[in-house]
Structure 1
Amino acid sequence: MNLNGTIQVVRLTDVGLRREHNEDAVASDMETGLLVLADGMGGYKAGEVASEMAVLTIVSGLRDGMLELSPGETDATTGLMQESVVLRDAVARANSAIYNVSQSQPQCAGMGTTLVAAVFADNRVGVGHIGDSRLYRLRDGTLAQLTEDHSLLNEQLKAGLITPEQAKVSNNKNLVTRALGVDPEVELELHEHVVEPGDIYLLCSDGLSDLVEDEEIELTLNTLSANLELAAHQLVQMANDNGGKDNISVILARTLKPFPAKNGWRDKLTQWLK
């Protein structure tokens, strides 16, 4: 489903103030409705390799996988959009590719990456993530986090071991419990959501979410919603103003109009009932 002209996208990534290298990678492909952001980790430059491999493999996997799809069809086994299933399969291939390189190239040993990706189709969005990169949605002025961090800090919060106030100053902020490419297999957490015209979706690395409160993100997006490029630059600047201790990456996407599938099962049913 080609969504050029249907979804407005702005991407921005910044090295921050304390890192020598940018280990984040971002991409968008509106011919397949894909947004993807990866935050790499590992030894010298290995994080850059992992995040770049993840993004390139997933973009390529979506393009190849979409060739086989009928718009609007759902997967009989999972009930998900076929586009979400293609995303899941592309992530699995990315995991294998990164893991194999980390095992065969000593300079890449132990590398991995967090991941957050979104695929838009048939007035829905499939959201998949691994680690603590996040996806937010701004709808009717209210910001909602649609992903849940795979991190030790979040596990401690859910278990009631620490309070939200303690979490803000915790030393465990960057300890993820799930990452792409670290093990032979990894589970992509995958959910789908209905999309409405005017929604703004934010994908970000923890370089933003660790340093800028959700309330500040919400205020910024509401204030600058008419200019997504300016909003992206402002978010990055806010993270740098608060210390810029990590790479900072954001993808902003605004849905401009509905995008129902053509010739999918809903269209077929409508034609049959006429």
Structure 2
Amino acid sequence: MSKSYFAVSARTAIGLARSGNEDSAITGSSLLAVADGMGGHAGGEVASRIAITTLAGMVPVLTAPDIDTDSIEDLLLNSLHTIDGEIARVASDEIELRGMGTTLTALLIRDGRVALLHVGDSRCYRLRGNTFEQLTHDHTVLQELLDSGTISMSEAHDHPQRSMLTQVLMGEGSVAPVLMVYEVNSKDRFLLCSDGLSSVLTEKEIKSLLKKSNRDEAVVALVEATYVNGAPDNVTVVVADVIEEEKHAVQLLGAAQ
């Protein structure tokens, strides 16, 4: 596919145990992203908003026809330094926001490929036909314990360090992001989500709901399933199908609105 875009449906919700929404997201025909903020005194909302609005401001550059692939990858990586620097600046000006941070998982489509940028534990999945795959690898203590064989999957669900991040954008200048590039085809459906979804539903449950032919219905079903299971956190779900016609205008969700 030489020209490819996203057709997108998305939804964000506070959940049943939180008083505010610290998730932010951007949806568009070329760029998707989810950021899950953390920190007291509205710091999580501020951090995730900084991440998403910074990316939103880069859409014209990232989608410019005369930008080559290497330059795009550099721009995406540099965007993290911009976000990290802005978080540091805001936190230095407002003491109550110090310690705030955010995850960021972003997906850019152009020239028949997607570039996936990832920091933290917000996830990206791909459904291609009947093959369902998690493309991101959580930056958490729990994931490191699983990778090393220290604990088993059966021990992971209730582990006390389940949500402890090893990589996060919090203005410290030490983040080590992951950037991956994948070929796309017309059968691809992508899911970006905060851990308010992935920590509540199993991969089998997510796949089953994501396979709904109607994209809007899939989004609603995924969010509603978290509520059935107690919705202990904010939940953000972005579902995108690969198409050959540009239709979706840029939209900000959650704390970034």
**Would the TM-score normalized by the shorter structure come out above 0.5?**
yes
* Equivalent residue letter for 1:46: G
The count of residues paired between Structure 1 and Structure 2 equals 244
- Aligned-partner Cα distance in 1 for 2:6–2:102: 27
- Counterpart secondary structure, 2:103: strand
The CA deviation at 1:159 is 1.0
| 1:146 equivalent in alignment to 2:135 | yes
Asked if the contact 1:83/1:121 (under 8 Å) is kept, the reply is no
Superposed, 1:53-132 pairs within 5 Å as 53-67=50-64, 70=66, 73-75=68-70, 82-132=71-121
Superposed, 1:1-274 pairs within 5 Å as 6-30=5-29, 33-67=30-64, 70=66, 73-75=68-70, 82-222=71-211, 224=212, 226-257=213-244
- Aligned-partner Cα distance in 2 for 1:110–1:206: 20
List runs of 5+ in structure 1 lacking aligned partners: 76-81, 260-274
Spell out structure 1 runs of 4+ moving beyond 3 A. Answer: 64-67
* Equivalent residue letter for 1:203: L
- Aligned-partner Cα distance in 2 for 1:62–1:258: 17
TM-score between both structures, scaled by the size of structure 2: 0.90
The CA deviation at 1:11 is 1.4
**Alignment-derived partner of residue 253 in structure 2:** none
- Counterpart secondary structure, 1:127: strand
- Counterpart secondary structure, 1:38: strand
- Aligned-partner Cα distance in 2 for 1:95–1:115: 11
Distance 1:165 1:144, change over 3 A: same
- Aligned-partner Cα distance in 2 for 1:188–1:22: 24
- Aligned-partner Cα distance in 2 for 1:74–1:219: 34
The CA deviation at 1:173 is 1.4
- Aligned-partner Cα distance in 2 for 1:182–1:157: 28
Distance 1:62 1:90, change over 3 A: farther
TM-score between both structures, scaled by the size of structure 1: 0.85
Distance 1:117 1:6, change over 3 A: closer
Asked if the contact 2:103/2:121 (under 8 Å) is kept, the reply is yes
User: Per-residue displacement from partner, 1:48-71 (whole Å, max 9, x unpaired)?
Assistant: 00001110011112324544x625
Asked if the contact 2:5/2:110 (under 8 Å) is kept, the reply is no
* Equivalent residue letter for 1:243: G
- Aligned-partner Cα distance in 2 for 1:162–1:55: 34
Sequence identity percentage: 35
- Aligned-partner Cα distance in 2 for 1:113–1:139: 29
**Alignment-derived partner of residue 250 in structure 2:** none
- Counterpart secondary structure, 2:83: helix
* Equivalent residue letter for 1:17: L
User: Per-residue displacement from partner, 1:102-156 (whole Å, max 9, x unpaired)?
Assistant: 1221121100001100000111000011010000000011210000000000000
Asked if the contact 1:126/1:192 (under 8 Å) is kept, the reply is yes
User: Per-residue displacement from partner, 1:50-106 (whole Å, max 9, x unpaired)?
Assistant: 001110011112324544x625x332xxxxxx3232221222211110122112211
Asked if the contact 2:81/2:173 (under 8 Å) is kept, the reply is no
- Aligned-partner Cα distance in 1 for 2:131–2:122: 20
Structure number with bigger Rg: 1
* Equivalent residue letter for 1:70: D
List runs of 5+ in structure 2 lacking aligned partners: 247-257
* Equivalent residue letter for 2:218: A
